[in-house]
Amino acid sequence: MMDINDNSSVDLTSVDEELFGSGPVEIESYGEKKWTRKHLRDNLTVLIPDLTVYASITCLSVIGLYFLEVTVKNQKEWSYFPTTAFIALFIGNFFVPLYHSFVDVPDGYYYTPAYTFLLIIACYVFFGVPKNWIATMAGLLVSAVHVITVLFISYDTLDTDKKIKRVFSDSIYLVCFNGLGLYFRSLNELVQRKSFLDRRDCIVNTLQLKHEKEQEEQLMSSIIPAPLISKVKENYIQIQDAYLTSGKLLQDDSQKLLETHDNVTILFADIVNYTVMTKKLNINALLETLNELFGRFDDASDKLKVIRIKFLGDCYYCVSGLPPNPPENPAEACVDLGLKMINIIAKVRQEKDLTIDMRIGIHTGRIICGIIGKIKYQFDIWSKDVDIANKMESEGKPGKVHITNKTKELLEKPYDIVPTDKGETVAQFKQNELKTYLVSPMPEHPNTIPRNNHKVYEPEDSHIPAQPRPSLFRKNGMPPLNLAHLTSELPNIAEEPVSTLTLIESNNIDNDNERKAISNGDANGRRNTVYQRRASLRFRINEERRSTSDIKRRTAFMNSNFKRYMETTATVDDEMEKAINNMSFSKKDQYIKEKEISSLLIFRNKKNELAYVKLTDPMFKYYVLGQVGLLLCMYIIENLTLKRNTWWRPEIVISQAILIFVLLPSTWTYFLYLKYKTKFGETLPKNIIVRFLYRTSMYITQKFWARWLIYTVVYCLFVTCVLLEVLLCHLESNEKNDSLIAGHCLVPWSMTQACALTLIMTFLFLKIFIWIKLLYAVITTVAYGCCIVFFVNYIYRNSETFNPYLSPQAAHIMSVVFLTFTLHLIDRQTDYMNRLDFLWTNKLLEEKKKANEQQAVNTHMLINILPKHVAKIYLDVNNSSNELYYESHNNAAVMFASMIFDECYMENENSFLTMMNGYVTDIDTLINRKEFSKVEKIKIAKWTYMAACGLTIPTDKDTVAYEVETHHTSTPLDTLLNFASMMFKIFRAHNNSMTEVHLRIGICHGPIVAGVVGSKKPLYDIWGDAVNMASRMDSTGMLGKIQVLESTAEEIEKLGYECEERGVREVKGAGNQMTYFVKLDSNFDLVRRRYDASEE
């Protein structure tokens, strides 16, 4: 121990009085030391260890912070740094008091570890220890060593009873700090995990939004060219916005979705010997072949920038020259496409040993293109030049491209062109002063595709010339297709002797003798697994899937969606890694760089700041509960070490009572009532007090100012319990007017520990504004420091200190200052992460909103392309990409309704299309009615409206691997009859003196096959004998009548409606058939059948 003599000593009374004020304390208990440079110089050996330790810790801290910035920025690991830092700080904390306790310590001078509480917090928060148990063990190790140090060094001179009480008090304090460390660690981990998850959700939603947009554009582009996509979306959004704001639906403006384009080239192509192919191939081979053909056609048209409009049966037509990305020479693009189509079908002909070929017609001119109707959008083209291109195909030759002089004049490349005499022999060409030419393909390998292989054609094309088509979508001369071999493979579908593909008939009144038909029922080429659907109310898994092993072409639409899904899944991790790299984890980024969050931890956007402050805090009740335990620990720490035996502390008792009996019920009642009494908040408690507490706790959870008020009350209770004790002790000493015995009314380090618990309380409330917490903490620190300096310094200067030349008073003040600073750093980090999470959550909500809006548009487009259950299949990325899709319906009803008008209406094409759009929209509106929700619009071919009922499939399963049976309370035939009746009524209401359009309807019922036609551009279609017979009933029917076959008439009479016999009519593909008209009254209502008593 260091000797202190009178010559080198100085009376500390004057010094203390100068620094801290006078007080009745004995000098002997504090010791003497000389505050001179000479004294410090003579005793430099005492300071060297302290200076060395503190300098090392400072340097290590600076170096550690720098390297942490580097490692955080570069995402590198420095795993040995936490261990190195912990060991260095651990040694520095306990070495100084240990050293000074055994080497040259002044008499009566005792030392305690300086920053044990900071080291404990660092173990949990600052060292970045990855495992909770490691951090806990480190914190407990520091606590244990601290207890040992104070037991054998700091409290060495105390008697056993005091020593045990002081050690127990310190242990409680250290337990509180370990609990605080676990709390902050868990809180930071929770906030970070939530932030990362929110960020990931944000990224996923961003990618989902992008995917939805691409998906929508792909679906839209399957039927609508790019320029019209934005118009369709804008039109839909305007209608939705108007409905949400005014509750009224805007009328669609047909002119918005119609465009006129000049100098475009139109191509019509027809598969020759299509009927022979359907007879030769089984269903799987047929589907494979059609998918192969149409898929290759679509690929070729995409490469040549030719837009495919649609295909109806064996007719494929497209246009070139439309914006936004037209080819340099649209005419050459169409001719090249035609030649490629001939080459493609020649290869398929050789591979499949078929006798098919292509007949192609091309013309250049003006078109009107766009969309008509309200549902099932289909892009189409109309004009006189379109009819000419259609006629060019029907007048062409197999294996040749038939072009007009309008197209030939635009060709710059050399072609094998031969003139024809069609310009003189065909009235439509002669009337328009057109000359026609045949373009032959020039294969690069003549031996591979011989040009004279037409010799293998069946008599259909050798002896029966192609019939003329006076107008678009009218075709004749095509013998009926026999689909008996197709339907024979489908269970529960009756085998019919003749089952032809759909035929669309003429619409003009003047051409009844020249009805032309076009095949409409493409075999459904989708995937190599055929899904069958049959009648039932429930699903059962189809264990016997039939598949083809040699399908070479996948459905492009499903493939592209599956590819996008896989790319999205793979991209999320990469985007998350980029987001993590861009996050401002480093203190430099957080404190200096200002982005959305300023260095003061305030949002630059004031709206965000206000919204952040007003956030609900469901954890607030737990903070209040924690204060009960914290106040109890404070009570024990303050009173356990006192010499007096009384534990009565009214301020603490009152504070605890307020916490338990007022604040806890006010914050917990809402949560407990919902948890144990009811799951819903609508039922209020019946007891008045409980209801009041229920509403109060709910209000506190939701309102910031209420939480701030409670936080302030709790803070005042804690501060009162600390400062009041100090002031009462000061008053007691003044009353006695003598030196107080140490530990009589307070123990300095116990009071400092109580003040530290108050600071902990200040920062435990997570969602309270960070600067309010810091303000309260600073007020506490300043107030406690003032009490030490101005009131009880004579007591505190007798307590333990950190080193010989640091006064105990300063040690106490430094402890609370450093703790305030440390807790603010932790709170700052937590608040920063919370604010970052708030920004990400807002961004996530915005992107979810956009995604939902996009989803609404996307869904609208989907149901306007495919039925919902089919669309779900083609958007389900879990389905295999190698599957064909079709479905059979045993009890379906099909309707063809031709809109008949006078040809004079067509003189002004724009006004004509506007007029017809009104009629079509009226029909579409009917389908939106509840009673007709099961009616499915198939398409409009020319001006024939095609619909079916009985195709609805339950969609509460996520896969199509089921056989389905459906039973309806209202039969499909009954529903479709009533739908047709309503069509007559709305047409009568729509007609006026200026326009008059009439309906001619044919209906048939029976088994049909439905599926998706096309490769990159999926289109839903139906085919079967019932479809073809419905078309025949329309084409041979009469205006204002519904014509049906005898078998359908019998079913109608069973439904209770009356039919009248028309007589035997010749029906193409079926011979002479007895036909009936469904009886309608003057209001176009179905006439109920009258039953005679004899019929009972």
Give the 3-state secondary structure of 717-781. HHHHHHHHHHHHHHHHHHHHCCCCCCCCCCCHHHHHHHHHHHHHHHHHCCCCCHHHHHHHHHHHH
3-state secondary structure 823-873: HHHHHHHHHHHHHHHHHHHHHHHHHHHHHHHHHHHHHHHHHCCCCHHHHHH
Q: How far apart are CA 517 and CA 510, in angstroms?
A: 16
How far lies 884's CA from each of 300, 544, 786, in Å? Answer: 22, 14, 85
The tokens describing 451, both together, are 């040009």
Of 1018, 1043, 1068, the residue at which a domain comes to its end is 1043
Higher pLDDT, 886 or 756: 756
The whole-number pLDDT of residue 455 equals 34
Confidence bin at 129 (pLDDT 50/70/90): confident
Burial of 497 (0-12, 13-18, 19+ CB in 10 A): exposed
Query: Helix (H, G, I), strand (E, B), or coil: what is residue 878?
Result: coil
Residue whose pair of structure tokens reads 């105990």 in the numeric block: 808
Q: How far apart are CA 274 and CA 478, in angstroms?
A: 9
Q: How far apart are CA 134 and CA 120, in angstroms?
A: 12
The whole-number pLDDT of residue 679 equals 63
Burial of 946 (0-12, 13-18, 19+ CB in 10 A): buried
Kindly tell me if the per-residue pLDDT of 473 is higher than 50.
no
Least confident of 258-262, 398-402, 856-860, 896-900: 856-860
Let me know whether 984 and 915 are in one domain: yes
Kindly tell me if the per-residue pLDDT of 588 is higher than 70.
no
Least confident of 15-24, 556-565, 976-985, 1081-1090: 15-24
The whole-number pLDDT of residue 296 equals 86
DSSP, res 684: -
Least confident of 6-10, 897-901, 1069-1073: 6-10
Q: Average pLDDT for residues 456-467, to the nearest whole number?
A: 38
- Strands of 491-585 (E only): list them: 529-530, 539-541, 546-547
Let me know whether 278 and 377 are in one domain: yes
Q: How far apart are CA 127 and CA 283, in angstroms?
A: 70
Least confident of 33-37, 427-431, 809-813: 33-37
Q: Is residue 584 part of a domain?
A: no
Give per-residue pLDDT as tens, 201-236.
777 777 777 776 776 667 666 667 767 777 777 777
Would strands 357-370 and 380-382 be described as parallel, antiparallel, or unpaired?
antiparallel
Helices (H), 222-273: 226-246
Would strands 935-941 and 546-547 be described as parallel, antiparallel, or unpaired?
unpaired
How far lies 28's CA from each of 46, 162, 804, in Å? Answer: 22, 21, 16
How many angstroms from the chain centroid is the CA of residue 630?
A: 44
Let me know whether 521 and 386 are in one domain: no
The whole-number pLDDT of residue 92 equals 84
Highest mean pLDDT among 60-64, 115-119, 142-146: 142-146
Let me know whether 997 and 903 are in one domain: yes
Q: Is residue 173 part of a domain?
A: no
The whole-number pLDDT of residue 753 equals 92
The whole-number pLDDT of residue 529 equals 30
Residue whose pair of structure tokens reads 């019922």 in the numeric block: 1005
Kindly tell me if the per-residue pLDDT of 275 is higher than 80.
no
Among 130, 486, 74, residue whose Cα is nearest residue 280: 486
937: enclosing H helix or E strand: strand 935-941
Return the CATH number at 327. 3.30.70.1230
Highest mean pLDDT among 60-74, 257-271, 732-746: 257-271
Kindly tell me if the per-residue pLDDT of 157 is higher than 60.
yes
Contact in structure between 548 and 284 (CB atoms under 8 Å): yes
Give per-residue pLDDT as tens, 402-425.
999 999 999 999 999 999 999 999
Q: How far apart are CA 265 and CA 411, in angstroms?
A: 12
The tokens describing 46, both together, are 């005492």
Kindly tell me if the per-residue pLDDT of 712 is higher than 70.
yes
Q: Is residue 887 part of a domain?
A: yes
Kindly tell me if the per-residue pLDDT of 441 is higher than 90.
no
Let me know whether 400 and 540 are in one domain: no
Confidence bin at 106 (pLDDT 50/70/90): low
Let me know whether 393 and 494 are in one domain: no
Of 413, 428, 443, the residue at which a domain comes to its end is 443
Least confident of 72-76, 247-251, 613-617, 808-812: 72-76
Say how many CA atoms lie within 13 Å of 783 toward its Cβ: 22
Structural domain count, the chain = 2
Q: Average pLDDT for residues 704-721, to the nearest whole number?
A: 94
Q: Render 150-179 in DSSP notation, one character per residue.
A: IIIIITTTS-HHHHHHHHHHHHHHHHHHHH
Highest mean pLDDT among 39-48, 151-160, 591-600: 151-160
Q: Average pLDDT for residues 496-516, to the nearest whole number?
A: 37
Q: How far apart are CA 987 and CA 22, in angstroms?
A: 108
Q: Give residue 315's identity as a one-letter amino acid code.
A: C
Q: How far apart are CA 594 and CA 608, in angstroms?
A: 15
Q: Is residue 400 part of a domain?
A: yes
How many angstroms from the chain centroid is the CA of residue 805?
A: 64
Count of other CB atoms within 10 angstroms of residue 802: 23
Q: Is residue 680 part of a domain?
A: no
Q: Give residue 57's identity as a one-letter amino acid code.
A: I
With vertex at residue 830, the alpha carbon angle to CA 829 and CA 836, rounded to the nearest 5 degrees, is 90
Let me know whether 403 and 503 are in one domain: no
Of 1001, 1022, 1043, the residue at which a domain comes to its end is 1043
Q: Average pLDDT for residues 996-1001, to the nearest whole number?
A: 93
How far lies 761's CA from each of 714, 754, 780, 896, in Å? Answer: 8, 11, 11, 79
Q: Is residue 362 part of a domain?
A: yes
Let me know whether 538 and 400 are in one domain: no
Highest mean pLDDT among 29-38, 255-264, 770-779: 770-779
Beta bridge partners, 139, equal none
Let me know whether 356 and 504 are in one domain: no
Q: Average pLDDT for residues 621-634, to the nearest whole number?
A: 92
The whole-number pLDDT of residue 408 equals 94
The tokens describing 740, both together, are 């107080």
With vertex at residue 145, the alpha carbon angle to CA 140 and CA 146, rounded to the nearest 5 degrees, is 95
Kindly tell me if the per-residue pLDDT of 484 is higher than 50.
no
The whole-number pLDDT of residue 862 equals 72
Let me know whether 275 and 329 are in one domain: yes
Q: Average pLDDT for residues 631-641, to the nearest whole number?
A: 89
The sign one gets for the Cα dihedral 942, 944, 948, 952 is positive
Count of other CB atoms within 10 angstroms of residue 541: 10
Rg (CA), the chain: 45
Contact in structure between 763 and 751 (CB atoms under 8 Å): no
Contact in structure between 138 and 89 (CB atoms under 8 Å): no
Contact in structure between 586 and 738 (CB atoms under 8 Å): no
Residue whose pair of structure tokens reads 């009350």 in the numeric block: 713
Contacts of 529 (CB under 8 A, 6+ apart): 545, 546, 547, 880, 882, 883, 884
The whole-number pLDDT of residue 583 equals 59
The whole-number pLDDT of residue 219 equals 64
State the pTM of this model.
0.63
Q: What average pLDDT does the structure give for the chain?
A: 76
Give per-residue pLDDT as tens, 8-46.
333 433 333 433 333 333 333 334 444 455 555 556 666
Count of other CB atoms within 10 angstroms of residue 147: 16
The tokens describing 118, both together, are 């900071």
Confidence bin at 1046 (pLDDT 50/70/90): very high
Let me know whether 494 and 401 are in one domain: no
Interhelix angle 868-875/556-582, nearest 10 degrees: 60
Let me know whether 536 and 397 are in one domain: no
Q: Is residue 134 part of a domain?
A: no
Q: Give residue 955's identity as a one-letter amino acid code.
A: T
The whole-number pLDDT of residue 561 equals 56
Kindly tell me if the per-residue pLDDT of 829 is higher than 90.
no
The residue count of the chain comes to 1096
- Domain hosting residue 1038, numbered range: 486-508+515-555+881-1043
Q: Is residue 341 part of a domain?
A: yes
Contact in structure between 311 and 1013 (CB atoms under 8 Å): yes
The whole-number pLDDT of residue 1054 equals 92
Kindly tell me if the per-residue pLDDT of 153 is higher than 80.
yes
